[in-house]
Chains A and B, each alone.
Chain A
């Protein structure tokens, strides 16, 4: 596979309308993401940012009322979450779950092999796998003890986020959706996490950063910035928009949209 070229459409969302427990969270959202691009989706709390991430990854308890999402030409919404993952869609969780007793490394190896199987590559054995993980752990500045621990078991908030990015760098997704990956990180951890994300940037991949704060974008410079509020993209721009949002807040965007 991987004949994805710079500029190919990776994700195309049209008029996506989603409700959770009868409450409409997304209403008519449009977004196009191409290979080689980094998009930042910003917005006030409760705007639907996390819902968007979770819907794209395939969470079941959302109701799709209208719209489409196409991933590499396939109907994304028709695929179960594990199939999305195997096709190279990765969600970095805002709150990664702890699964004590299930070894971190074994999970990651299974995840990598599920992905490799999908794209017709041979499974990696334990030896090859450890070499890959050790390499990426160095990048993420994680120590050896991590290899022995349960999935996110007893991890600090920062460690959990690092672990998400570590998984991402090992899995090398075509589309990475990172949900509030910067929340709860101190400045050093933010740099490490950003390095991890930047290491993955390539003409054949795309990244969607969902974030509340501009500071992440100092380290991972986006090509596009979108404001998500009221369930849809109200405004799009370049990096300058993020800086303006930091200075002026979100209200002016909402007012502009209301006036239009």
Chain B
């Protein structure tokens, strides 16, 4: 690193921006203590096992101070497909009423973070566990959690859209979703960022699903080439609750999704899928921890990674089946496609079973295009370039088809297509 050894770290430099953040003296004192505690341990590094594949070293040279500019990102919003339901916009982590729908579906309420709430009592001065460090950073630089409450009985059939816009500098959004008994929500989340200039987003997402609740959550990550985005999601499922996450990570410089899904009670289900697209010099990382704590739980994970150029990616997925979580059924599939010799994707599916009578399977591959498929297309007279392009598209499609047939799929597909080799050729085959 070029920084002088005595230069203050990126974390230490944040000290100056704390007085400008909301809250009274007690909050400022808490933020200072939390920052000091975090600075003493530092941000996670590849030496921490859970961060083995993600290197945050580039943050040392970045200004992580919360953005204050609040530039209106109207043109960025126009590039998104027309929303099919109410849209909530958060700019640099702050709710933006002017860009957001005024009415929410019945049964849905938004409670914005209130600075009047006293700060957390402890600061964990004894050291912050590695899995809590990004959360701590979010808490000490953010404004607290904005709560979306979906009432008991819920709002079936509605899609709620959340757009997170980063304009440059640091953004620390924290969204907490509380779904009551039997509540149901389709949540479509876009993450967009500046097309030029640096941005850093340390985002926290919490979702608590009460018995029988259902959350179908889609995240489309379209940030700019100089955006570092860390999204830490913690999902807790009660009995028969159903969580579905579809991730499409197309943009960014370094992106990491940390998904911790806890199946607390019997009959819960978690279905996770994602497409990580790491072309150019992008890095796309996913780490999952699916924790089966009760019997009759179901989880599956389907992740596909594509890396080209000097792109990097990783899938680091762990399933834990605790004692007593009998009749658990769990599947993990991670397949990765390397389009060039300088691209790399790491995959590490892990399984820890402490219960009897469970069905768990996992598979992981990283490689180039399937030779059997390639040969098949060649024997039909297609040239090699076209055949390769089609197979790459087919690989990506494996995840994109999970987005259904609507405008979101089309928008995402056309963005993904544009970045594949021989895009024009592919379009002739997929119309």
Contact = CB atoms under 8 A, between A and B. Distances in A.
Interface of A: 57-61, 80-82, 84-86, 90-91, 93, 96-97, 99-103, 106-108, 110-111, 114-115, 118, 150, 167, 171
Most chain-A CB neighbours within 10 Å: which of B373, B378, B384, B428? B378
A159 to B, nearest CB: 16
Contacts of B74: none
A86 B381 CA distance: 5
A86 B394 CA distance: 24
A171 B386 CA distance: 19
A82 B397 contact: no
Contacts of B382: 82, 107, 110-111, 114
Nearest to B393: A101
Contacts of A106: 428-431
Given A82-B383, A99-B391, A100-B394, A58 B378 contact: yes
B371 A85 contact: no
A80 B383 CA distance: 10
Interface string B377-399: 11111111011001101101110
Interface string B266-294: 00000000000000000000000000000
B394 A96 contact: no
Given A103-B430, A106-B429, A106-B431, A85 B401 contact: no
A96 B401 CA distance: 22
A97 B378 contact: no
Given A97-B372, A102-B429, A103-B430, A111 B381 contact: yes
7 contacts: A81-B379, A82-B381, A101-B393, A101-B397, A107-B382, A110-B380, A111-B381
Most chain-B CB neighbours within 10 Å: which of A60, A80, A86, A101? A101
B405 to A, nearest CB: 11
A102 B378 contact: no
A102 B430 CA distance: 6
Interface string B345-389: 000000000000000000000000011110111111111101100
A101 B381 contact: no
A103 B390 CA distance: 10
A93 B372 CA distance: 11
Contacts of B378: 58, 80-82, 85
A59 B375 contact: yes
Contacts of A99: 373, 376-377, 390-391, 394
B379 A101 contact: no
A124 to B, nearest CB: 14
B210 to A, nearest CB: 36
B401 A100 contact: yes
A258 B128 CA distance: 79
Given A102-B391, A110-B382, 11 more contacts: A82-B387, A97-B376, A99-B376, A99-B377, A101-B394, A101-B398, A102-B430, A107-B377, A107-B382, A107-B390, A110-B381
Interface residues of B, number: 28
B398 A114 contact: no
B394 A102 contact: yes
Given A82-B382, A110-B382, A100 B429 contact: no
Q: Is the interface of B mostly helix, strand, loop or mixed?
A: helix
Nearest to B396: A101
Contacts of B383: 82, 114
Contact of B375 (A81, A86, A108): A81
B390 A82 contact: no
A97 B373 contact: yes
Nearest to B384: A82
A62 to B, nearest CB: 11
A165 B397 CA distance: 27
Nearest to A96: B376
Nearest to A118: B381
Most chain-A CB neighbours within 10 Å: which of B378, B381, B387, B390? B381
Contacts of B393: 101-102
A111 B430 contact: no
Contacts of A108: 380
Interface in B298-357: none
A1 B391 CA distance: 32
A175 to B, nearest CB: 12
A110 B426 CA distance: 11
Contact of A115 (B381, B386, B398): B381
A239 B411 CA distance: 58
Given A82-B384, A106-B430, A58 B394 contact: no
A80 B373 CA distance: 16
A101 B430 contact: yes
A86 B384 CA distance: 13
Contacts of A58: 375, 378-379
Contacts of B373: 97, 99
9 closest residue pairs by CB, A with B: A101-B397, A114-B381, A85-B381, A111-B380, A81-B378, A101-B394, A106-B429, A97-B376, A82-B378
A100 B397 contact: yes
Contacts of B386: 110
Contacts of A81: 375, 378-379
A81 B382 CA distance: 9
A91 B379 contact: yes
Contacts of B372: 97
Contacts of A85: 378-381
Given A99-B373, A107-B429, A57 B379 contact: yes
A110 B429 contact: yes
A218 to B, nearest CB: 28
Contacts of B401: 100-101
A59 B383 CA distance: 14
A77 to B, nearest CB: 15
Nearest to B397: A101
Contacts of A60: 371, 375
Contacts of B397: 100-101
Nearest to A116: B381
Nearest to B387: A82
B382 to A, nearest CB: 6
Most chain-A CB neighbours within 10 Å: which of B377, B384, B393? B377
A110 B380 CA distance: 8
